[in-house]
Amino acid sequence: MSTEKIPYKIYLEESEMPKAWYNLRADMKNKPAPLLNPATHEPMKAEELAGVFCEELIKQELDDTTPYFDIPEDIRNFYKMYRPSPLVRAYCLEEKLQTPAKIYYKFEGNNTSGSHKLNSAIAQAYYAKKQGLKGVTTETGAGQWGTALSMACSYFGLDCKVYMVKVSYEQKPFRREVMRTYGASVTPSPSTETQVGRKILEEHPGTTGSLGCAISEAVEKATTTEGYRYVLGSVLNQVLLHQSVIGLETKTALDKYGIKPDIIIGCAGGGSNLGGLIAPFMGEKLRGEADYRIIAVEPASCPSFTRGKYAYDFCDTGMVCPLAKMYTLGSGFIPAPNHAGGLRYHGMSSTLSQLYADGLMEATSVPQTAVFEAAEQFARVEGILPAPESAHAIKVAIDEAMRCKETGEEKTIVFGLTGTGYFDMVAYEKFHDGKMEDYIPTDEELQASFDKLPKMD
């Protein structure tokens, strides 16, 4: 089909929106390793998780065999407020780069929370409400997840208690106010409100916090407060399931025009947007129906895939959560306060970890200043101010497009543009003022963290 016929933005009709989420695990021969009870090292049973998570979400978490889960109508209606998200042909960027590559991006920043996180937040809030809970607790790094969850909770009339990583709380006061606008209460983490927070503060005085710390606090709060459960915005299988809506829409849009991607690229923090974007494509790959190059992009300052160990580890710094087998830098690893807060998690989705271990996807890491150069280049031609997290994917998409320019190959590249960067102007300011640092952990630092991985036998 000639390129002239492909519009700048491929939208779907409401009737073309997915009616079920796709569970990638159903097609995996090697299933992701189960969550383990940290005391017994036995797989976590649904009953054991029930004090922490909502019942329906536990079912989704533990189900490795059901390929499709119907999206409840209330959630589909909420999705219709801001979805389908556009799949954009980056004609202007292609022109600027003078590349023969065809570049597409799936833009998830068209909602107030500014990222893809709302796709799972609304699902998790729905199941919490359905279970008759009063409220939920959570952590937020950069603030996108907390904002998304605040929106979802206010929609269903649930309380929302957010522990926000301290460095972000200070860097992004406006994010905090958006959350409060939606009725959430927001506490900087580590805090003195929880036992685990007090312990972390004693051990690391002056720490700027991490997602791992904030998770521990949110879990403690949920398990010690009547009628509350804990919800998580990434990493978990259930979150990847909800985020499959991104990939399903992308696939439908591409199929409409007979487009087959060669390379699919996404940034990876805990792996949810990438897991969601690639889901139907990886499904085809697993079933032997098609092949794609799939690339995860992570910050050089927090390189879970590229320099981490594939091992059982705690999901949180306070070591209160179950053990997950994943590429990890160690639950005690507190990354340098870089400006892609959403990518500062020490571990990685166990589903993506298994796929990576099986050689079904690639990973690469990029330093922060290169990411902001790509972000600025993209903003100037495509008109969207990207989130620093998203700009990791932009950077590698541009690199791949430039490689096509050298070789003359007309590859089709699809990447996930997960969100907007309006709350990241402190980071952009540092970049513009030449004050941005590319902090990369040393092997010794990583080894010190690996030495503290739980001993499994």
Cis peptide before 84 (omega within 30 of 0): yes
Stretch near ligand PLP under the rule CB under 6 A, chosen from 90-98, 310-318, 375-383, 386-394? 386-394
Residue burial 301-322, b: 16+ Cβ < 10 Å; e: rest: bbbbbebbbbbbbbbbbbbbbb
Residue selected from 272, 317, 353, 365 as contacting ligand PLP according to rule CB under 6 A: 272
Work out the number of other CB atoms within 10 angstroms of the CB of residue 455.
7
- Alpha-carbon torsion 76, 79, 84, 88, what sign? negative
Residues 17-76, interacting with ligand PLP (CB under 6 A): none
Backbone conformation region of residue 416, classed left if phi is above 0, alpha if psi is from -120 to 50, else beta:
beta
> x/- binding map, residues 92-121, to ligand PLP, per CB under 6 A?
-----------------------x-x----
C-alpha to C-alpha distance for 99 and 97, rounded to whole angstroms: 5
Asked if 71 and 18 touch (Cβ cutoff 8 Å), the reply is yes
Where do we find the tokens 């271990």? 357
- Look at residues 196, 245, 203, 249 and name the one whose alpha carbon lies nearest to residue 223: 196
CB 298 within 8 A of CB 271: no
Q: Is 269 in the site for ligand PLP (CB under 6 A)?
A: yes
10 Å CB burial of residue 151 (0-12, 13-18, 19+) is: buried
Q: Which of 270, 299, 318, 330 binds ligand PLP (CB under 6 A)?
A: 270
Residue 390, interface with ligand PLP (CB under 6 A)? yes
Per rule CB under 6 A, is residue 321 in the interface with ligand PLP?
A: no
In the window 204-243, what residues touch ligand PLP (CB under 6 A)?
A: 234
Nearer to ligand PLP, 71 or 375 (CB): 375
Q: Nearer Cβ to ligand PLP, position 115 or 351? A: 115
Contacting residue, 267, 279, 282, 324, with ligand PLP by CB under 6 A:
267
**What x/- string results for residues 133 through 162 when contact with ligand PLP is judged by CB under 6 A?**
---------x-xx-----------------
Q: Torsions phi, psi of 316, nearest 5? A: -140, 160
Q: Which amino acid is at 235?
A: V
Question: Based on CB atoms, which residue is closest to ligand PLP, 6 or 179?
Answer: 179
Stretch that binds ligand PLP, among 253-261, 272-280, 308-316, 327-335 (CB under 6 A): 272-280
Nearest to 238 by CA among 43, 35, 94, 3: 35
Query: Of 58 and 268, which CB lies nearer to ligand PLP in the complex structure?
Result: 268
**For ligand PLP, the closer CB: 337 or 419:** 419
Is there binding between residue 277 and ligand PLP (CB under 6 A)? no
If binding is defined by CB under 6 A, does position 298 make contact with ligand PLP? no
- Which one of 158, 268, 282, 436 is in contact with ligand PLP (CB under 6 A)? 268
Residues lying near ligand PLP in the complex (CB under 6 A) are found at 115, 117, 142, 144-145, 234, 267-274, 342-343, 387, 389-390, 418-419
